[in-house]
Amino acid sequence: MLRHSTTALLLLASVAAFGQAGKKKPISQPLVTHIYTADPSAHVFNGKIYVYPSHDYEAGIKEDDLGSHFAMRDYHILSMDSIGGKVTDNGTALDIKNVPWAGRQMWAPDAAYKNGTYYLYFPVKDKQDIFHIGVATSKSPAGPFKAEPTPITNSFSIDPAVFKDDDGSYYMYFGGIWGGQLQKWTGNKYDANGPLRKPTEQAILPRVAKLNADMKSFAEYPREIKIVDEHGKTFLESNNDKRFFEASWMHKYKGKYYFSYSTGDTHNICYAIGNSPYGPFTYKGIVLKPVDGWTNHHSIVEIKGKWYLFYHDVQLSGKTHLRNVKVTELKYNPDGTIQTINAYQ
């Protein structure tokens, strides 16, 4: 097991002091400081908190709008007994070299549990440089995980988030535009020249597919998810402070389905509420205002009767592609809306 070293704790203290001295004081501190982590998908398994993040590192690749500098190649799973408690890095859970079909860029993962098996879902480009979603299994939530030899059939793009409904059904939400390639898929068919939408066109929509009982395949072709305004209209690409960009997440609160996501180039984490896992979802507002760094990616989970938002920023490095995961409490208003969080004071 890898744990905080004395050096890491000293670094954390210096980072905290810097935040206090600067213009913006973070409301929370990085969960770990010895590696760079991002895109945290959090779950409670067997009464313990597990966080499934991306593992950032310095690849020396020039930054671009396609995210080429996000060249991650493995996953480390974090665990802790309670919020604010000691965080354990459980080592390498899955390495790209052990995924037979993978080419490059292991981006944001998620995990699920069913009948004694844990499933790790991950996007990675194949050897033709097209993103698909893979699945790996383990008997432990901390891994190590063994990958299936091929990606999930009919999967594409990035950012899988798997949600278990009250009836035991599992759904995968996914998609991301720009470097996530979602704009290249229409009717579940790939077009290498698929363009981004123009400002006056309907924004590209995220996808959802129900999983089969084996948790390794789709029970249906992926469907588009409608995110609509208060009048029931879908957003245009020009509504880029509200439209979907990437980072799907689904949770349920008081019988309602909450679909949350990142707006990407405007850096909000927004949410919309619906009555079905397929939507439509009506836009309600911002969960988290922009953080330091270009990206944001989150998860929302209930732990011991309280709700928490896991997210990332670049407090440790100041660099877009070297991020650190954090957590803060999330609160609801009496009407079920979420109180907007500002990551800095």
Query: Is 58 considered catalytic here?
Result: no
Q: Are 188 and 182 in contact (CB under 8 A)?
A: no
For 119, half-sphere exposure in the C-beta direction (CA atoms, 13 angstrom radius) is 23
DSSP letter string, 280-337: -EEEEEEEE---SSS----EEEEETTEEEEEEEE-TTT--TTS-EEEEEEE-B-TTSP
Query: Is 39 considered catalytic here?
Result: yes
Q: Are 112 and 118 in contact (CB under 8 A)?
A: yes
From the candidates 56, 89, 110, 246, give the one annotated as an active-site residue: 246
Tokens of 245: 């960009």
Buried b (16+ CB within 10 A) or exposed e, 138-163: beebbbbbebbeebbeebbbbbbbbb
Residue with the two structure tokens 């996914």: 174
Q: What SS3 class is residue 63?
A: coil
Q: At 56, which amino acid appears?
A: D
From the candidates 39, 56, 89, 313, give the one annotated as an active-site residue: 39
Q: Are 286 and 340 in contact (CB under 8 A)?
A: yes
Spacing of C-alpha 328 from chain mean position:
16
Q: Are 54 and 75 in contact (CB under 8 A)?
A: yes
Q: What SS3 class is residue 119?
A: strand
226 closest CA partner among 186, 182, 158, 278: 278
Q: How far is CA 76 from CA 39, 56, 93, in A?
A: 12, 10, 5
| Measured distance CA(312)–CA(51) in Å, rounded | 12
What's the longest Cα–Cα distance across the chain? 55
| Measured distance CA(168)–CA(190) in Å, rounded | 32
What residues are annotated to the active site? Answer: 39, 246
